[in-house]
Each structure stands twice: as structure tokens, then as C-alpha cells.
Structure 1
């Protein structure tokens, strides 16, 4: 087992990059979902949402 680790120790770096990238994507998804929920509450109240909220949701 130790020999296997010595041969592939460098795989820690790309795997950790993948994990960090997936976590950042999940955080972006959560933020976008929360912003959409706030937008839905503005629509239900019949109010105009702030420009900053719309800019946050801009896919552009």
C-alpha cells in the first residue's frame, strides 16, 4: 500500500482541485437559488425587485 501512495502522491492535487471546484459550484447554486426565492417573494407581493438583485441573477 505504501508503494502505491509513493507512486501516486501527486494525485492529491488534481483531486483536491476537483473537490474545491465542486464545492464552489454548489455554493454558487445555493446563492442563485436564494436570490430566485427572493425574486419570487417580490413577484408575489407585486413589487419591482431592486436592480442589484436582477444584476445578481444576470447570466450574461
Structure 2
């Protein structure tokens, strides 16, 4: 038998919406596990990083 999920999908959606709308980080701690939700977290693409480097050289 598998253990229950740390957080349900519906709860995760609600937390993500609150984090995004209020521009805050939300931290959920349960049973020794920590889960953090950050608003608008994006990983820059390699092209974006190259453009930033190219602009800084001038």
C-alpha cells in the first residue's frame, strides 16, 4: 500500500493561486517535510542568459 500524498492536487492549486496573486512565498510543513511555493518562479532559458551576457560586454 502506498502512503497518502503530501498535498492534494486541489490544495496545491489553491496555494499556488494565493502565492501568485499576493506575491508571497508559502511554506507548508507536515510530518517533517517542508514544501515551498514561490510566485512566478521561472528558469531562464539559455538564450536569455546569452543575451544578458552579450549586453554586459558592451
Q: TM-score w.r.t. structure 1 length?
A: 0.29
Q: Of Structure 1 and Structure 2, which has the larger fraction of its residues in strand? A: 2
Q: Kindly name which structure, 1 or 2, has the bigger radius of gyration based on alpha carbons.
A: 1
* Greater RCO, 1 or 2 (C-alpha within 8 Å, sep 6+): 1
Q: Of Structure 1 and Structure 2, which has the larger fraction of its residues in helix? A: 1
Q: TM-score w.r.t. structure 2 length?
A: 0.30
